[in-house]
A = this chain, B = another copy of it.
Amino acid sequence: MAYHFSPIKLDDKGHIRDSVFAILRNAILDKKLEPGQRLVERSIAEELGISRTPVREAIHKLVLERLVTHVPRKGVVVSGFTKADIVEILVIRTSLEALICSIAAAKIKPRELKRLESLAKQISDEHEKGNLKKSNQLNDKFHEIIYRAAESPRVHSFLNTLHEYITKFTQVAYSKPGRPAEVCVEHKAIIEALSKHDSSEAEAVAKKHAKNSSKAFLEMAYCD
């Protein structure tokens, strides 16, 4: 059975395993590989024109991220994403988003607060111009500032992973009527809580922000 992967270009200076990981990951998230489908190391390696070793290492990472499941004596198969899985990811993100915000409140510097205010304004501007892509990028930066301010590498990297899962669908969430305006209001509330270095308020508003975002996503994604 063929996966229809193109041979890898070797001009990449990064490690092959990372390229393979990205290829497989995108294929799964883009549903090019169906849930339940087996991933056969030899076949993938052959199609990509490389050896099994980097393929194995890439698959390993996928297992750790639960995008594929290891079945004894069968190899790995693509995991299915049920609605329950999506919900779990969203609630984890909500919880950690609240956590990192409360931590950030205690540590954030005036310089970073300034940057957040500037970004919030830009985001709102781009919204009005209808520039979804740009405003999404800026939105990511907004949250990245907060993540960094919290100086909590584990939470930070975990949130990034979750974010990548969700990103594949996020423009859907933003297309919900009225959501962009809400986002602006919520961003302002977050900035205010952070400015006051009020951890519990920051936790509360961040949780509300993430919950609303999750809700908007679920409504749009599962309206059927």
- B-contacting residues of A (Cβ < 8 Å)? 56-57, 60-61, 64, 66, 84, 88-89, 91-92, 95-96, 98-99, 103, 151-155
**Nearest chain B CB to A182's CB is how many angstroms away?**
23
Return the contact of A154 from the options B92, B103, B152, B155 (Cβ within 8 A): B92
Q: Lowest 5 A-B CB distances belong to which pairs?
A: A95-B99, A88-B152, A64-B64, A95-B95, A88-B154
Return the contact of A88 from the options B56, B66, B95, B153 (Cβ within 8 A): B153
The number of times this chain is found in the oligomer is 2
Q: How far is the CA of A95 from the CA of B210 in the complex (A)?
A: 15
**Nearest chain B CB to A105's CB is how many angstroms away?**
13
Q: How far is the CA of A89 from the CA of B158 in the complex (A)?
A: 12
Contact A88 B57 (CB under 8 A): no
Closest to A64 in B: B64
Task: Provide the residues of chain B in CB contact with A151, threshold 8 Å.
Answer: 84
Contact A99 B103 (CB under 8 A): no
Closest to A150 in B: B88
Task: Provide the residues of chain B in CB contact with A84, threshold 8 Å.
Answer: 151
Known: A84-B151, A92-B154. 14 other contacts (CB 8 A): A56-B57, A60-B60, A60-B61, A61-B64, A64-B64, A66-B153, A66-B154, A88-B153, A88-B154, A88-B155, A92-B99, A92-B155, A95-B96, A95-B99
Closest to A57 in B: B60
Task: Provide the residues of chain B in CB contact with A56, threshold 8 Å.
Answer: 57
Task: Provide the residues of chain B in CB contact with A92, threshold 8 Å.
Answer: 96, 99, 154-155
Task: Provide the residues of chain B in CB contact with A57, threshold 8 Å.
Answer: 56-57, 60
Return the contact of A91 from the options B66, B91, B99, B153 (Cβ within 8 A): B99
**Nearest chain B CB to A17's CB is how many angstroms away?**
9
Task: Provide the residues of chain B in CB contact with A153, threshold 8 Å.
Answer: 66, 88
Closest to A162 in B: B154
Q: How far is the CA of A89 from the CA of B153 in the complex (A)?
A: 10
Q: How far is the CA of A95 from the CA of B89 in the complex (A)?
A: 15
Task: Provide the residues of chain B in CB contact with A98, threshold 8 Å.
Answer: 95
Q: How far is the CA of A126 from the CA of B96 in the complex (A)?
A: 35
